């Protein structure tokens, strides 16, 4: 009886060890890194500026001046800490150029630009983010997660014309809420809504993508969709609000 019990225990231990080894090997085999590249066209429909925010002249880089459609790109690297915890880093540079004339004098960042002279403007909004997200739902059809993003903003607004030029730089930290919602439609196709957003009494920021993701292979997929970038601040130092529409395409590689 003792020998029979020992044999059963030995078999149980062997099965548990085999199962643990198999699970560990599968976990190692699963890709933990994802590199996501996105690019396309950025179209500006609003870019209102007043600097200083309480005494400058309010003007628009889209209504008073003409802003060209810009090429954009961004790269995100994800690392899956565990099955449901994801850490990611994003670099998203953006530069817009505008030109035209304004029929009234413009007071901007301590300089006064005469009325009716040709003006050129530059708007930079480079964004660098570190995100942690917890994916509460990971089913065969739905994936949903929430997290936090620490964003560093490296921005400037520049105006030049009539022999005068001035540049207002702005570097700062912005906390955001991160989210991801994915609906798997077929083995290869999924619908995706993801982004960062947060609002306060002094301003707001939203960066949201809605698109379709298609898996080409086990670890390679492509995507296409619409991204909006909207927000700004209304404080004594600056008043600036921007709304951009992105036509976005991209690809992801997992390893």
- Tens of pLDDT along 6-22? 454 444 444 544 444 44
Tell me: the pLDDT tens digits for 125-167?
999 999 999 999 999 999 999 999 999 999 999 999 999 999 9
Tell me: the pLDDT tens digits for 178-194?
999 999 999 999 999 99
Q: Return the CA Rg of the chain.
A: 25
> What does the pLDDT average to over 114-121?
97
Phi, psi dihedrals of residue 47, rounded to the nearest 5°:
-160, 80
pLDDT of amino acid 4: 52
User: For residue 14, what is the enclosing H or E element?
Assistant: helix 2-29
Indicate if the pLDDT at residue 240 is higher than 80.
yes
Tell me: the pLDDT tens digits for 80-103?
999 999 999 999 999 999 999 999
Grade residue 2 by pLDDT with cuts at 50, 70 and 90: very low
Tell me: the pLDDT tens digits for 59-77?
999 999 999 999 999 999 9
Q: pTM of the full predicted structure?
A: 0.86
CA angle 40, 45, 50 (to 5 degrees): 120
> DSSP readout, 24-91?
HHHHHHS--EEEEEEEEEEEEEEEEEESSTTTS--EETTTTSEEPPEEEEEEEEEEESSSSEEEEEEE
Indicate if the pLDDT at residue 27 is higher than 90.
no
Q: Considering the domain 31-254, what is its CATH architecture? A: Beta Barrel (2.40)
CB 124 within 8 A of CB 155: yes
pLDDT of amino acid 31: 86
């Amino acid at each position: 009886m003792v020998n029979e019990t020992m044999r059963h225990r030995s078999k149980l231990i062997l099965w548990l060890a085999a199962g643990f080894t198999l699970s560990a090997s599968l976990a190692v085999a699963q890709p933990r890194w994802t590199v996501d590249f996105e690019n396309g066209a950025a179209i500006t429909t609003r870019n209102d500026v007043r600097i200083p925010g309480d005494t400058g002249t309010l003007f628009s880089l889209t209504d008073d001046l003409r802003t060209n459609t810009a090429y954009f790109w961004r790269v995100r690297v994800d690392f899956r800490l565990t099955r449901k915890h994801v850490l990611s880093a994003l670099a998203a540079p953006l530069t817009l150029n505008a030109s035209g004339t304004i029929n009234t004098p413009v007071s901007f960042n301590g300089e006064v630009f005469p009325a009716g002279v040709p003006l050129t403007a530059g708007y930079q909004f480079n964004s660098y983010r570190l995100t942690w997200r917890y994916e509460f739902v990971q089913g065969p059809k739905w994936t949903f997660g929430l997290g936090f993003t620490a964003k560093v903003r490296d921005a400037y607004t520049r105006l030049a014309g009539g022999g005068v030029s001035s540049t207002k730089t702005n570097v700062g930290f912005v906390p955001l809420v991160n989210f991801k919602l994915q609906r798997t439609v077929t083995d290869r196709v999924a619908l995706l809504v993801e982004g960062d957003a947060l609002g306060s009494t002094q301003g707001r920021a939203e960066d949201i993508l809605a698109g379709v993701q298609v898996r080409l292979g086990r670890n390679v997929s492509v995507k296409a969709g619409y991204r909006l970038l909207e927000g700004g601040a209304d404080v004594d130092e600056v008043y600036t609000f921007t709304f951009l529409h992105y036509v976005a395409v991209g690809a992801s590689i997992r390893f």
